[in-house]
């Protein structure tokens, strides 16, 4: 935890340390293991007396290979420049850095050579091999029954899905009361019971006729 109020009597707060992210942060993520994060930079005040944070962070995260599922290291480097309001008194550096680290996790990451990935039931081929005339799967792709299914580029987030479905929500019908007889009617409609609309008789009902 960094006391930002030190900047009331200091020009800047220097940061040069290795920060260890607790394993609890890695739960429900694709990160298997995370090394200590080398953090270099400083915190100063800008012309509006807000906190200006400039940091360079370096680290290595272990991820599962997207093809072979082996655990492989993935090096990352992030340059941070962010402004915080001066109403904040302290800064949790671990929490602050984690928001940037989790954004560095790639959607797909592999170091496998596609030429050697095969099984009794499949074999992965490269783009170069696919384009060659002697493509071993050429006959398969030319079959009439072969259909190429569209695959989404990335997973649709829950927020985007729910925003798309927002118009499907059920809404209650608007009703009002007839000022003449008190019957429940739809807005801007003639009352079916007494035949009045805006305190004027528009349709003569059997009751009024008597």
* Tens of pLDDT, residues 56-111: 999 999 998 887 788 889 999 989 888 888 788 888 888 888 888 888 888 888 87
Write phi, then psi, for 79 (nearest 5 degrees): -105, 115
Q: Which residue range(s) make up the domain with 25?
A: 2-104
Q: Residue 67 sits in a domain of what CATH number?
A: 3.30.450
Residue 119 lies in a domain: no
Total number of domains constituting the chain: 2
Neighbours of 178 (CB within 10 A): 19
Using the 3D structure, point to which of 50, 74, 104 is the last residue of a domain: 104
Residue 140 lies in a domain: no
Residue 10 lies in a domain: yes
The tokens for 7 are: 């900047």
State the pTM of this model: 0.52
| 63 alpha-carbon distance from chain centroid | 20
Neighbours of 142 (CB within 10 A): 8
Residue 153 lies in a domain: no
Q: How far is it, in rounded angstroms, from Cα 153 to Cα 155?
A: 7
Write phi, then psi, for 209 (nearest 5 degrees): -65, -35
């Amino acid at each position: 935890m960094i006391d930002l109020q030190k900047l009331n009597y200091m020009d800047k707060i220097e940061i040069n340390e290795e920060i260890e992210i607790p394993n609890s942060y890695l739960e429900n993520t694709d990160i298997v293991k995370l090394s200590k994060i080398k953090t270099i930079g400083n915190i100063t005040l800008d012309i509006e007396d807000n906190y200006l944070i400039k940091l360079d962070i370096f680290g290595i995260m272990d991820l599962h290979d997207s093809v072979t599922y082996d655990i492989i290291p993935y090096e990352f480097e992030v340059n941070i420049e962010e402004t915080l309001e001066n109403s904040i008194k302290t800064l949790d550096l671990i929490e602050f850095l984690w928001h940037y680290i989790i954004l560095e996790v790639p959607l797909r990451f592999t170091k496998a050579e596609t030429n050697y990935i095969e099984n009794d039931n499949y074999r992965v081929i490269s783009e170069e091999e696919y384009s060659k005339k002697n493509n071993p799967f050429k006959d398969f792709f030319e079959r009439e029954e072969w259909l190429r299914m569209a695959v989404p580029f990335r997973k649709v987030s829950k927020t985007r899905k729910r925003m798309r479905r927002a118009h499907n929500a059920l809404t209650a019908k608007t009703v009002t009361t007839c000022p003449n007889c008190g019957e429940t009617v739809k807005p801007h409609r003639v009352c079916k019971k007494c035949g009045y609309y805006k305190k004027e008789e528009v349709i003569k009902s059997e009751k009024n006729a008597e």
